Amino acid sequence: MDMSIRIFITGGTFDKEYNELNGQLFFKDSHLPEMLELGRNLVPVETRTLMMVDSLEMTEDDRSLIAEHCMKSPEKRIIITHGTDTMAITAQKIAEKVRDKTIVLTGAMIPYKFGSSDGLFNLGRALAFVQTLPPGVYVVMNGRYFNANNVRKNKETGEFEELHQGI
């Protein structure tokens, strides 16, 4: 079985850094390679940055671009790092277009560079789920995987939950 994994980077809290000159958060380079090394990852992965945006500023064109890359990718297993605010929307958009691959979206509530990030934990889980889940589009947050058609971020708690129980 071909286990090679494609990781598409789109930005999000995951990769934000602190600009010490103006006190703003911004994107520079992705921390994915550093995180994979830290995790002593030996599963073959290919990483590609598609964009570096806050997911609240992601447009429909951006989402089409992401879906298109998923379609064209030769790998059958894909991870997408993504801001949490609109992660569920992007997941649904991809699910409409791609059906024969295992695609996992994940992100973080706290930037990796800020020390107490959940990003390392989530990346670890995404890498595991993408190897074992059947074809489909999933959101991996809070230690769980959610079907793209049954997930939302609860804005009050910051936690992901199912739209409908028992599906």
Q: Which residues contribute to the site for a second copy (CB under 8 A)? A: 13, 16, 18, 20-21, 23, 25, 35-36, 38-43, 54, 109-111, 113-116, 118, 120-129, 131-133, 140-145, 155, 158-159
Min separation Cβ 27 and a second copy, Å: 13
Min separation Cβ 119 and a second copy, Å: 10
Nearer to a second copy, 20 or 60 (CB): 20
Pairwise CA distance, residues 167 & 141, whole Å:
18
Min separation Cβ 149 and a second copy, Å: 18
Nearer to a second copy, 36 or 94 (CB): 36
Nearer to a second copy, 25 or 71 (CB): 25
Nearer to a second copy, 25 or 163 (CB): 25
